[in-house]
Amino acid sequence: MEEANWSVGRVAKRCGVKVSTLHYYEQLGLIRSWRNNGNQRRYKAEVLRRISVIKAAQKMGVSLDSIKRAFAGLPDNRTPNKEDWQLLASNWQAELDERINYLIALRDSLDGCIGCGCLSLKNCPIYNPEDMLAELGDGPVLLEKKRQKEN
């Protein structure tokens, strides 16, 4: 395997992403390439691990911004190794737990009032006359309040 001579097409195929995704990741600073004499992008083989970590984190619901911040915290912006991945995953665990709790609260509130101010539910158990819940904040205030209690 050539160390630093992977074409963009080869990387995309091996990682199961589109070439445009690689360009986007590079634009965000998540991966790096270099240009050969023919001005074609080339990657080191280690980019496969970075892209795999990005894909795994995204499947867990981690944003690209969060992934970028985590990568920036690695010494010399190196590609995450096994220990780095364990640290990154444990740091994301609280974020994921919060998201899971929010989704559970949303699932359990889908058929009732979430305090969004739409006033469209005739059977809302907490009927919100004249959107008085707006005084509590923006968005689905009852859903947010429920989530905060659970955390």
Q: For position 20, which CATH number holds? A: 1.10.1660.10
Report the run of H or E that residue 43 belongs to, with start and end: strand 41-43
Q: Mind listing the pLDDT tens digit for each residue in 85-144?
A: 888 888 888 888 888 888 887 787 776 666 666 656 565 555 566 677 778 878 777 777
**Does some domain include residue 108?**
no
- Is 135 contained in some domain? no
What radius of gyration, in Å, describes the C-alpha atoms of the chain? 22
Residue 23: inside a domain: yes
Q: In the prediction, which pLDDT does 134 show?
A: 75
Domain membership of residue 29 as a residue range: 6-92
Note the helical H segments in 29-140.
Answer: 47-59, 64-72, 82-109
Q: Domain for residue 66, yes or no?
A: yes
Q: State the angle between helix axes of 82-109 and 141-150 in degrees (0 to 180), rounded to the nearest 10.
A: 130
User: What are the tens digits of pLDDT across the range 123-132?
Assistant: 555 556 667 7
Taking the C-alpha atoms of residue 128 and residue 63, their distance in angstroms, rounded to an integer, is: 34
pTM for this prediction? 0.65
pLDDT tens, position by position, 23-51? 999 999 999 998 989 999 999 988 998 99
C-alpha closest to that of 144 among 112, 110, 117, 116: 116
For the chain, how many structural domains are there in total? 1
The model's pLDDT over 44-91, given as tens digits with 9 standing for 90+, comes to 988 998 999 899 889 888 899 999 988 888 877 788 888 888 888 888
Q: Is residue 67 in a domain?
A: yes
In the DSSP assignment, the letter for residue 2 is -
**74 domain residue, yes or no:** yes
Residue 103 belongs to some domain of the structure: no
Residue 111 located in a structural domain: no
Our CA angle for 14, 18, 20, nearest 5°, is 130
Cβ neighbors of 10 (< 8 A, separation 6 or more) are: none
